[in-house]
C-alpha cells in the first residue's frame, strides 16, 4: 500500500514537472518573439532600431507601418486569423503578440497588404521574427512639395486627326477595331477595297480621363476647374488628414491641379492647364499647414486601388515626397506606387528640390520617395525664363539630381544603395502662374506670390516654383495620351515621353534624365502605336502601324530640336531605333524600366526581360551637347553604379558637385510638398530669374 501511494506521488510529481516545463516553454517562446534574431533584425528599419536604442522610457510608443509578405508567392504556411475579412492574413501568433504589447491597429490597407500600428517602441523589434512580416518602418511626416502649354508643345496638338485602320495584332487573323474615348467634332469614313479607314478630328484635352491629385486639397469652386457648362470637373473629393475638409487652406494642391487640368477660362486662356478637360479626383493627404503622414498617403493609395475604375483614374499626381532613405524594394510608399502602376495607372512623382546646398553648390543623390521607385515617372524642374522658345531652357538649380541614394542593410550591417538613374524627365517648373485657393496660407504668409490676375477670388492666380509644378505638366500630358489611346500601358506612356524628349545642352543625365518633355512629339509617336499590344506580343513585333518611324524632331516657337531617343533604365540609359519601332516586353503591365539591366550571353536584359536587337546600354553618364542622348562629354562611368550599389561611397565628389550621404535630405523625416524644401526657397523665389508674363483677367 505504501509503495502504491509512493508510486502515485511520483506520478503526480512527474505530471506537475511536465506541466511546468510546458508552461515554461510557452513563456520562453513568447519571450523569444520579443528578441529577434540577427537575420530578422534587418526586417525592421534602421531608424526604428535607432529610436529603440535612444528611448528613455519602457512605455514610450510610436507608430509603424507593417508590410506583409505575399504568402502565396512566398509559399508560407501560416495559420491566419483574417477576421476582418480584408485579405491581410496576419498569423494568430502575431495578433497575440500585438495584444500582449497593447498595440493598436489604426489603419488597414487591404490592397497594399499593410497595417499602421501604434505600439511601444520596445516591442517593435520583435515584429521582425514573424514569417509573414516583410518590413517594418516608421510613419514619417509629409509636406506638400501659362505659357506652359506653348513651350511644352501642348498647343500644337490640341486638334488631332486620328486615322483608324483596322489592324490585326499578333495571334489573331481578323481585323481589330480601335475605339477611342474622344470628343469627336468631325468623322469621315473611306472604303479602300475591303478595308474601312475612319478619320476622326478631335480636341485633345483629356476628356473622360481622371487625374487623381494627391496633395493639400483642391478648391473645387475655382473657375479654372469648370467645364463648358459651368460645373466643376472635380468629380470626387475625400479627406485623409482627419481634418474633415477637402478644400485647400494651404494652397498647394489647387495650384498643382490647375497646371494639370486648368480650363483656360481666365485671362483669355493665358493659364490653361495641359489637360484642360480632364476630370480631377481630389485626395487630400496634407493638412492646413501643408504637412501630413505617410500613412495618410498610403490610405489614399489604397482608396485609388479600390475606386480607380469608377472614376476612370488613369493618372496619379504626387507633387510631394519624403526622404528616400530605405530602398525602393522595402519602402512602403514605393511598394504602394508599384501596385498602382501594375493596375494600369501612370504615377507621376516629383524629384524634389534639393539640388543645391545652402552655399549654392550642386548636390547629387537627393531624389525623394516615391520618386526613387523605378515604376514611377519621376520629374525634375526646368527654368524656361518665361519664353515659349526652348533654346534658352535650363535645369532649375534647385531641382533634385540622381542617383537615388536609398539603401538596404544586410545582416553584416553593410549598406547596399539602389543608385538608380533619376529623374526620368524634366518639365517647366519655375515661377509658374496657376490657380490660387482663396485664403491660401502660402499667399497669406508670402503676399508676393499673389499674381493679382483678378479681383475675384475664384479667378485669381499665384506664383509657385519647384518640381511640384513640373510634375502636373507631365501628369496632364499623360492624360492626353490616354485620351488618344486608352489601351496604352503606363510604360508605353513613359516610353513615348522619354523617346521624344529634348536633351538640354550642358546638363548631365542625373539632372535631366531623358530630357525635357515634348508633348508634340509624344502625341505624334503615340498616334502610330499599334493597338492591342500586350502580354502575348513577342519581343521585336512591329510597334508602329506605319512602315517607318516618325521624323524625330519637333519645332516649337521657331526652335527645332532633335528627339533624345533614349530611355532611362535602372542605373544607365538605353538607346537604339528598335526602342521606337519594335515591341519590348518592358512596355507591358507588371514591368519596370529599372529593376535590372544586364547582358547575358550577348542578349540585353532589362527587368529580366530580353530586349530586341539594336538596343544598347550606355556605359557612362554623359553631359549632353543638346542633341541625342548618346552625344556629349563623359561625366562619370556607370561602373560606379552597376554592381550591387556599394561601390560609390558616401560624400564622393561627382564632377561639379557633391554626392550626399545615405539619402538624408536637408529636411530629414518630413514628407514634403516637393516645392517646400530649403526653407521654401524654391517654392517662393524660384530660380531668381524671369517668370511667366502676367496677363490680367478682365
Cis peptide bond prior to 370, omega within 30° of 0? yes
According to DSSP, residue 250 is labeled S
| 590-595 own/partner pairs: CB under 8 Å, 24+ apart | 590/342, 591/491, 592/338, 592/374, 592/375, 592/491, 593/374, 593/424, 593/491, 593/494, 593/567, 593/568, 593/569, 594/374, 594/420, 594/421, 594/568, 594/569, 594/570, 595/374, 595/570
615: cell is 538596343
What distance in Å separates the CA atoms of residue 688 and residue 510, rounded to the nearest whole number? 23
Catalytic residue set: 215, 252, 468
Coil, strand or helix at 162:
strand
Dist CA 254 CA 458 (whole Å):
11
Alpha helices by DSSP H, listed for 146-288, are 148-151, 252-261
Q: Which of 312, 342, 419, 380 is nearest to 637 (CA)?
A: 419
Q: How far is CA 44 from the centre of its chain?
A: 24
For 641-687, the DSSP string reads: TSSSS-SS-TT-EETTEEEPSTT--TTTTEEEEGGGTTTTIIIIITT
- Residues 6 or more apart from 350 whose CB is under 8 A from it? 145, 318, 319, 320, 321, 368, 371, 378, 379, 466, 467, 468, 470, 471, 674, 675
Whole-angstrom Cα distance, residue 622 to residue 633? 5
Question: If we measure between CA atoms, which residue out of 470, 399, 400 comes closest to residue 434?
Answer: 470
Question: In angstroms, how far is the first alpha carbon of the chain from the final one?
Answer: 114
Sequence-distant (≥ 6) Cβ neighbours of residue 605 within 8 angstroms: 596, 597, 598, 599, 611
Q: Which of 660, 619, 664, 657 is nearest to 640 (CA)?
A: 619
Distance CA 374, CA 357 (A): 26
**Residue 170 backbone dihedrals phi, psi, to 5 degrees:** -60, 140
Amino acid at each position: 500500500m505504501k509503495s502504491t501511494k509512493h508510486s502515485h506521488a511520483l506520478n503526480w510529481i512527474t505530471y506537475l514537472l511536465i506541466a511546468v516545463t510546458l508552461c515554461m516553454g510557452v513563456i520562453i517562446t513568447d519571450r523569444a518573439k520579443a528578441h529577434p534574431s540577427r537575420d530578422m533584425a534587418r526586417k525592421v528599419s534602421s531608424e526604428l532600431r535607432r529610436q529603440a536604442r535612444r528611448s528613455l522610457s519602457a512605455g514610450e510608443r510610436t507608430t509603424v507601418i507593417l508590410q506583409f509578405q505575399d504568402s502565396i508567392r512566398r509559399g508560407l504556411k501560416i495559420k491566419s486569423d483574417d477576421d476582418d475579412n480584408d485579405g491581410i492574413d496576419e498569423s494568430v501568433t502575431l495578433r497575440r503578440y500585438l495584444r500582449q504589447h497593447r498595440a493598436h491597429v489604426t489603419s488597414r490597407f487591404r490592397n497594399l497588404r499593410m497595417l499602421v500600428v501604434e505600439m511601444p517602441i520596445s516591442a517593435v523589434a520583435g515584429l521582425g521574427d514573424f514569417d509573414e512580416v516583410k518590413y517594418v518602418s516608421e510613419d514619417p511626416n509629409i509636406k506638400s512639395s501659362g505659357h506652359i502649354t506653348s513651350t511644352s508643345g501642348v498647343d500644337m496638338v490640341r486638334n488631332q486627326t486620328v486615322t483608324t485602320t483596322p489592324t490585326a495584332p499578333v495571334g489573331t487573323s481578323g481585323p481589330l477595331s480601335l475605339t477611342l474615348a474622344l470628343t469627336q467634332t468631325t468623322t469621315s469614313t473611306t472604303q479602300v477595297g475591303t478595308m474601312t479607314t475612319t478619320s476622326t478630328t478631335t480636341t485633345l484635352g483629356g476628356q473622360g480621363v481622371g487625374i487623381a491629385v494627391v496633395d493639400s486639397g483642391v478648391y473645387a469652386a475655382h473657375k479654372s476647374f469648370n467645364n463648358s457648362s459651368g460645373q466643376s470637373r472635380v468629380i470626387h473629393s475625400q479627406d485623409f488628414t482627419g481634418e474633415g475638409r477637402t478644400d485647400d487652406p494651404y494652397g498647394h494642391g489647387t495650384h498643382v491641379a490647375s497646371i494639370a487640368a486648368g480650363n483656360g477660362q481666365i485671362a483669355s486662356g493665358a493659364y490653361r492647364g495641359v489637360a484642360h478637360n480632364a476630370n480631377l479626383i481630389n485626395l487630400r493627404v496634407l493638412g492646413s499647414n501643408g504637412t501630413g503622414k505617410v500613412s495618410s498617403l498610403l490610405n489614399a493609395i489604397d482608396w485609388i486601388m479600390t475606386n480607380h475604375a469608377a472614376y476612370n483614374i488613369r493618372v496619379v499626381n504626387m507633387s510631394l515626397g519624403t526622404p528616400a532613405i530605405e530602398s525602393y524594394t522595402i519602402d512602403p510608399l514605393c511598394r504602394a506606387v508599384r501596385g498602382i502602376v501594375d493596375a494600369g495607372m501612370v504615377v507621376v512623382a516629383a524629384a524634389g528640390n534639393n539640388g543645391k546646398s545652402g552655399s549654392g553648390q550642386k548636390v547629387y543623390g537627393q531624389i525623394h520617395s516615391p520618386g526613387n521607385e523605378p515604376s514611377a515617372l519621376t520629374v525634375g524642374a526646368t527654368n524656361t525664363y518665361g519664353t515659349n522658345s526652348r533654346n534658352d531652357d535650363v535645369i532649375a538649380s534647385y531641382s533634385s539630381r540622381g542617383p537615388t541614394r536609398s539603401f538596404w542593410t544586410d545582416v553584416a550591417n553593410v549598406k547596399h544603395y539602389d543608385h538608380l538613374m533619376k529623374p526620368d524627365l524634366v518639365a517647366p517648373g519655375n515661377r509658374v502662374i496657376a490657380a490660387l485657393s482663396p485664403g491660401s496660407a502660402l499667399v497669406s504668409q508670402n503676399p508676393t506670390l499673389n499674381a493679382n490676375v483678378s479681383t475675384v477670388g475664384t479667378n485669381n492666380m499665384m506664383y509657385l516654383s519647384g518640381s511640384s509644378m513640373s510634375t502636373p505638366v507631365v501628369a496632364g500630358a499623360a492624360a492626353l495620351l490616354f485620351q488618344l489611346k486608352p489601351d496604352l500601358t503606363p510604360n508605353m506612356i513613359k516610353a513615348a515621353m522619354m523617346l521624344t524628349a529634348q536633351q538640354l545642352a550642358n546638363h548631365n543625365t542625373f539632372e535631366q534624365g531623358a530630357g525635357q518633355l515634348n508633348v508634340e512629339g509624344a502625341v505624334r509617336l503615340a498616334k502610330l502605336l499599334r493597338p492591342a499590344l500586350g502580354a502575348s506580343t513577342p519581343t521585336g513585333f512591329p510597334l508602329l502601324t506605319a512602315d517607318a518611324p516618325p521624323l524625330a524632331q519637333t519645332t516649337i516657337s521657331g526652335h527645332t530640336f532633335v528627339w533624345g531617343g533614349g530611355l532611362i533604365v535602372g542605373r544607365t540609359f538605353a538607346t537604339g531605333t528598335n526602342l521606337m519601332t519594335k515591341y519590348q516586353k518592358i512596355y507591358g503591365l507588371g514591368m519596370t524600366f529599372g529593376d535590372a539591366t544586364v547582358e547575358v550571353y550577348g542578349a540585353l536584359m532589362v527587368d529580366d526581360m530580353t530586349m530586341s536587337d539594336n538596343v544598347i546600354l550606355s556605359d557612362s553618364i554623359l553631359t549632353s551637347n543638346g542633341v541625342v542622348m548618346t552625344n556629349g562629354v563623359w561625366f562619370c562611368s556607370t561602373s560606379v553604379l552597376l554592381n550591387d550599389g556599394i561601390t560609390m561611397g558616401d560624400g564622393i565628389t561627382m564632377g561639379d558637385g557633391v554626392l550626399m550621404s545615405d539619402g538624408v535630405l536637408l529636411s530629414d523625416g518630413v514628407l514634403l510638398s516637393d516645392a517646400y524644401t530649403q526653407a521654401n526657397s524654391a517654392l517662393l523665389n524660384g530660380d531668381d530669374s524671369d517668370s511667366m508674363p502676367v496677363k490680367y483677367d478682365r
